[in-house]
Amino acid sequence: MRKFRDLIIPGVDKRLLVKDATRLLPDPARRRFLAMGASFGALTLLTGCDVVDEDSAESLLKYVSKFNDAVQSALFNPDTLAPTYPESAITRPFPFNAYYGLDEAPEVEAADYKFEVTGLVDNKKAWTLQELYALPQFKQITRHICVEGWSAIGSWTGASLRDFLKLVGADTRAKYCWFRCAEGYTGTLDMPTALHPQTQMTFKYDDKILPKAYGFPMKIRVPTKLGFKNPKYVIAMEVTNDYKGGYWEDQGYNAFSGS
Amino acid sequence: MSSIAADHAGADHSHVSARGRVIQPGWVRVLHWINAVAMILMIMSGWQVYNASPLFGFTFPHTITLGGWLGGALLWHFAAMWLLMVNGLVYLAAGLLTGRFRRKLTPLSVPGVLGDLRAALAGKLAHDDLTVYNQVQKLLYAGIIVVGIVVVLSGLSIWKPVQLQWLTAVFGGYDTARYVHFGCMAAIVGFLVVHVALALLVPKSLRAMIIGR
């Protein structure tokens, strides 16, 4: 993990900067006036570390991010559907994206695969791939938006997570669905998003069984959230009231991150 | 507020000496500097966000960005946005309600701008009365307010392209909205360079924005 120190701009010493700036100016009165201005600029713009110590900057930013989570979930309308697109709009090739290369992506054996369902659910039985494939499926062509800023349109087919949660008798008043993946990746979805009609347990990409690059055997496709909230290689789900974070959430990405 | 009253008095700018008179009322100065801080934080963290997925064939040097990495930059960007938005809304409301926008930024005409631009480039533009903006200033100050509104709206449209999809559509879709957002940033940075250079060339204008006179 990167140190929070990096959040603050390194480099310029404000005392030296003010000294340099004032030396250039002959008139003493003006010098004092500009020294004030320069120190103001230096304080606010250049050396955050001298104004606020790192710990308080870190906790303030984290506090605002939590505040933003609350604002976003209050504004989130679970009935708003993500725009859908025609086949012709699909981005080809759809990019592979992870914090590791494709050759390091997990290789999941279809025959051994079990989807564990735990937490606040009536039926904690593990699901085989064949059982999951037998669920009613729907296809949607939506835009995947990465936290980095790029976007790509893809075609995903799978089962409704909302219907699945009802099927297993999940307590949908619980706050979160927490997912665990084959390579150790984790992620949390808030319950209103898990119950969104477009949130999908995805088994196919572009009408073909999900390739390794896109998360075989199962991806959770959430068109109302940024890409990192769409876990691939999903092997377990826990319905819970405890916020368990996630791989990127724990490193500082905004936990709600809904679009 | 006495400073607003003084600003109203400043509307009658004809023959009064600039000495001792409030050129920039207190509320303008406070909002101006809060906006300056918010804008710098938004721009520098925005450059770091841009670097994660550049739109053009360049990235911004790490030393002039804020946040250290994408996650840190986003924390700054989505914290400073509140400062920018709340401060900006107060400024727009106050500018409209006090009549400052109407007094300071109108009338504005194409021949007026061209005439003042010629005079400025010839070094013949007077700055005797800082309470009165010339046509070039009016255009730039009115223009940057519009750009400020568009940068916030385009930013919202790429932050919430599902919830605010109508707004994203106004900007030509998600990918195009990113270019709009970048273009507004570039316009603001361009404005900033000219604005700071001119304020330093006419130091009494900078003094007026700090102590009011």
Q: Are residues A89 and A15 in the same domain?
A: no
Q: Do A224 and B162 touch (CB under 8 A)?
A: yes
Which residue's structure tokens are 């020294």?
A35
> Is B1's pLDDT higher than 70?
no
**CATH number of the domain where residue A222 is located:** 3.90.420.10
Q: Which carries the bigger pLDDT value, residue A257 or residue A19?
A: A257
Q: Are residues A99 and A130 in the same domain?
A: yes
Q: Are residues A109 and A80 in the same domain?
A: yes
Q: Are residues A142 and A45 in the same domain?
A: no
Q: Please count the CA atoms within 13 angstroms of the CA of B16 that sit on its side-chain side.
A: 15
Q: Which residues of A touch B158 (CB under 8 A)?
A: 149
Q: Are residues A132 and A212 in the same domain?
A: yes
Considering its fold, how many domains does chain B have in total?
Answer: 1
Q: Which domain holds residue B77?
A: 25-98
Q: Are residues A30 and A156 in the same domain?
A: no
- 3 state SS of A231: coil
Q: Is residue A229 part of a domain?
A: yes
Q: Is residue B129 part of a domain?
A: no
Q: Which residues of A touch B174 (CB under 8 A)?
A: 143, 145, 151
Q: Is residue A256 part of a domain?
A: no
First to last CA, chain B: 17
Q: Do A80 and B163 touch (CB under 8 A)?
A: yes
Minimal Cβ distance to B163: which of A75, A147, A149? A75
Q: What is the pLDDT of residues A91-121, one digit of tens each?
A: 999 999 999 999 999 999 999 999 999 999 9
- A126 close contact with B: CB closer than 8 A: no
> Is A162's pLDDT higher than 60?
yes
Identity of the amino acid at B164: L
Which residue, of A72, A93, A119, is where some domain finishes? A72
Buried/exposed code over B91-123 (b: 16+ C-beta within 10 A; e: otherwise): beebbeebebbebbbeeeeeeebeebeeeeeee
Minimal Cβ distance to A61: which of B52, B53, B79? B79
Which of A55-69, A158-172, B23-37 is predicted least confidently? A55-69
Q: Are residues A87 and A63 in the same domain?
A: no
> Is A12's pLDDT higher than 90?
no
Minimal Cβ distance to B76: which of A30, A61, A81? A61
Which of A14-18, A122-126, A189-193, B190-194 is predicted least confidently? A14-18
Structure tokens at A246: 């996630």
Q: Binning pLDDT at 50, 70 and 90, where does residue B77 land?
A: very high
Q: What is the pLDDT of residues B85-104, one digit of tens each?
A: 999 999 999 999 999 999 99
Q: Which residue of A has its CA nearest to B211?
A: A33
In this prediction the ipTM stands at 0.83
Residue A84: what are its φ and ψ, rounded to 5°? -110, 160
Q: Are residues A82 and A116 in the same domain?
A: yes
Minimal Cβ distance to A148: which of B70, B174, B210? B70
Considering its fold, how many domains does chain A have in total?
Answer: 2
Average pLDDT over residues B34-49: 97
Q: Do A151 and B175 touch (CB under 8 A)?
A: yes
Q: Is residue B190 part of a domain?
A: no
Q: Are residues A105 and A132 in the same domain?
A: yes
Looking at residue B11, its pLDDT comes to 42
Q: Binning pLDDT at 50, 70 and 90, where does residue B20 land?
A: low
Q: Is residue A93 part of a domain?
A: yes
Which residue's structure tokens are 């405890």?
A242
Query: What does the mean pLDDT of chain B come to?
Result: 90
Q: Are residues A97 and A50 in the same domain?
A: no
Q: What is the pLDDT of residues B130-167, one digit of tens each?
A: 888 989 999 999 999 999 999 999 999 999 999 999 99
Query: Which residue, among A4, A6, A9, A226, would best test binding to B if mutated, counting the most B CBs under 10 Å from its CB?
Result: A9
Q: In this structure, is the dihedral angle defined by the CA atoms of residues B43, B48, B53 and B54, taken in order, positive or negative?
A: positive
Under a CB-based contact definition with an 8 Å cutoff, are residues A189 and A239 in contact?
Answer: no
Q: Which domain holds residue A110?
A: 76-251
Which residue's structure tokens are 């949908």?
A172
Q: Are residues A62 and A89 in the same domain?
A: no
Which residue, of A45, A72, A99, is where some domain finishes? A72
Q: Is residue A9 part of a domain?
A: yes
* Nearest in space to A230 (alpha carbons), one of A172, A143, A169, A165: A143
Q: Is residue A258 part of a domain?
A: no
Looking at residue B125, its pLDDT comes to 81
Looking at residue A53, its pLDDT comes to 62
> Is B26's pLDDT higher than 60?
yes
Q: Do B162 and A223 touch (CB under 8 A)?
A: yes
